[in-house]
């Protein structure tokens, strides 16, 4: 069994949010107990920003440095976080993955990562950090329900295209 940890990004106005820093702390705690093969940070750079969420998470990483730290800088949705980190984990022989997210985000993370990773044979554990959701976060999660099927189909198509 080879472990991987994935941390989808979260930023405010192009800078890592306090919530994302808490997710990084939690991921670092997991890395201490599980000795993962890789920790993958996933998140895009909004227009006009020099560093992506993933690059900012790498710079802020409070955990061990004896594991491979990987950045995926193109994903802007949870579905893309899943589809674009999956090949990175498979290339490293990862079989079990912990995805670190806020508790309010956990249902969407389970939906995308569970389907995409599960179809590829990776076991997924959602490690939800109990953060009080903001009204904006609740609204965002509710609105995301309306587009999740379309995003899932797009992520599946992207994976098919990348496999050739």
Residue spans per domain, the chain: 3-163
Closest listed residue to residue 111, CA positions, set 74, 145, 162, 65: 145
- Report residue 123's pLDDT band, with 50, 70 and 90 as the boundaries: very high
Element of type H or E holding 40? strand 38-42
**pLDDT higher than threshold 80 for residue 24:** yes
CATH domain 3-163 topology = Rossmann fold (3.40.50)
- Report residue 164's pLDDT band, with 50, 70 and 90 as the boundaries: low
- Report residue 46's pLDDT band, with 50, 70 and 90 as the boundaries: confident
Taken in order 142, 144, 145, 147, is the CA torsion positive or negative? positive
Contact 34, 27 (CB under 8 A): no
């Amino acid at each position: 069994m080879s472990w991987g940890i994935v941390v989808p990004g979260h930023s405010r106005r192009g800078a890592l949010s306090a919530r994302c820093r808490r997710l990084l702390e939690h991921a670092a705690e997991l890395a201490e107990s599980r000795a993962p093969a890789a920790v993958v940070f996933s998140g895009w750079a909004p227009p006009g920003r020099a560093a992506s969420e993933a690059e900012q998470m790498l710079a802020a990483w409070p955990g061990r440095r004896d594991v491979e730290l990987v950045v995926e800088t193109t994903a802007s949705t949870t579905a893309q976080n899943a589809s674009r980190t999956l090949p990175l984990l498979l290339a490293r022989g990862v079989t079990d993955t912990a995805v670190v997210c806020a508790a309010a985000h956990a249902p969407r993370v389970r939906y995308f990562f569970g389907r995409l990773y599960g179809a590829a044979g990776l076991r997924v554990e959602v490690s939800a950090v109990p953060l009080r959701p903001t009204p904006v976060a609740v609204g965002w999660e509710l609105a995301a329900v309306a587009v999740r099927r379309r995003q899932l189909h797009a992520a599946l198509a992207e994976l098919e295209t990348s496999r050739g």
